[in-house]
Structure 1
Amino acid sequence: MTSRSSASPAARIGLISDTHNLVRPEALRYLDGCDAIVHAGDICNPAVLDALARIAPLTAVRGNNDTGDWAASLPTHARLTVQQVTILVVHDIAELGCVPQDEGIRVVVSGHSHKPSIAERDGVLYVNPGSAGPRRFTLPVCAGRLIVEGAQVSATFDALLR
């Protein structure tokens, strides 16, 4: 048996995007217990951010549907570091271009497409948790999580509705 006393416990980062003014109880339950939450834009109402911030510290970016005075204070890009992993958050991945290799970005979280996806390219994990808001076409209603342990990171997304 190995001891983990010297290791940092794993951090759970909740990922949500494209809520479009809808705070589903299923999303709140899914994010409950997370150490932090990332919202990748298209919030549409500050009450969404208030509800999420009651669960855990929140990082949010402005999406193309986030307008008005309340949204003006939201950045279009945000960066946070969890343990040894640096995460870049942007709403529309197309606005990002390429990730500069020298900036130490290990994860890029985006939204906009409403389509959940996880892909790794050139050592960078790209995660789109999908949309937790109103259903769009036949796409699932989803949210996701990052699990960070030191310099290691993994991602998942889960359907919120069956």
Structure 2
Amino acid sequence: MTSRHSRSPTTRIGLISDTHNLMRPEALVYLAGCDLIIHAGDICNQAVLDALRKIAPVTAVRGNNDTGDWAASLPTHATLTVQQVTIRVVHDIAELGADLCSEGVGVVVSGHSHKPSISERDGVLFVNPGSAGPRRFRLPVCAGMLRVEGAQVSATFDTLLM
């Protein structure tokens, strides 16, 4: 007798933020093979999004440094559902505002601080992949990954440069 497990396939979502007009080859390698990419703002140039779209579909939000005609169509907030997980994307976490639990949000992805972090509050996973752009102070150059399987989600971030 054969046993079959009805597991959902894992969706890999690459997380990147604060590229500030710099699309590092290390970031492209890190994101290769993702099913989707989220850019949490401060992109600073359409060419960055074009490079990411060669890897996977991209959801991007406008950061405080994203100005000009190319950025006008970018939203300040985005919400997407992957399998059974609702993800809210915003550049600056201070602009989040809404009652996430009542909206069913399970993950918040943000940028702006350039500090990579993963935390959970009130059942919501908060992820900041840090900055994959020019090094700022002594902060690491990072990107992150969400793995979604059904209603389960996990997050990691990795240093791209030492």
TM over 0.5: yes
- SS of the residue corresponding to residue 102 of structure 2 reads helix
- 2:72 maps to 72
Letter in 1 for 2:76: T
Alignment partner of 1:9 is 2:9: yes
Shift of 1:7: 1.9
Residue 88 (structure 1) aligned with residue 91 (structure 2): no
Q: Give the match for residue 124 of structure 1.
A: 124
Residue number in structure 1 paired with 2:26: 26
- Residues 2 and 29 of structure 1: CA distance in aligned 2, closer, same or farther (over 3 Å): farther
- Give 3-state SS (helix, strand or coil) of 1:48's partner: helix
Partner of 2:35: 35
Amino acid of the structure 1 residue aligned with 2:74: L
Q: How far off its partner does 1:8 sit?
A: 1.6
Mapped partners of 1:118, 1:107: distance in 2: 10
C-alpha offsets along residues 87-113 of structure 1, whole Å, 9 cap, x if unaligned?
000000001125332110000000000
| 3-state SS, counterpart of residue 101 of structure 1 | coil
DSSP 3-state at the match of 1:147: strand
TM-score, normalised by the number of residues in structure 1:
0.96
Tell me, which stretches of 5 or more residues in structure 2 are unaligned? none
Residue by residue over 1:8-53, the C-alpha shift from the partner in whole angstroms, topping out at 9 and shown as x without a partner, is: 2111000000000000000000000000000000000000000001
Which residue is equivalent to 2:139?
A: 139
Distance 2:76 2:28 in 1: 24
Amino acid in the other structure paired with 1:51: A
- Specify the alignment match of 2:58 in structure 1: 58
Matches of 1:107 and 1:52 in 2, distance apart? 21
Question: Percent identity among equivalent residues?
Answer: 80
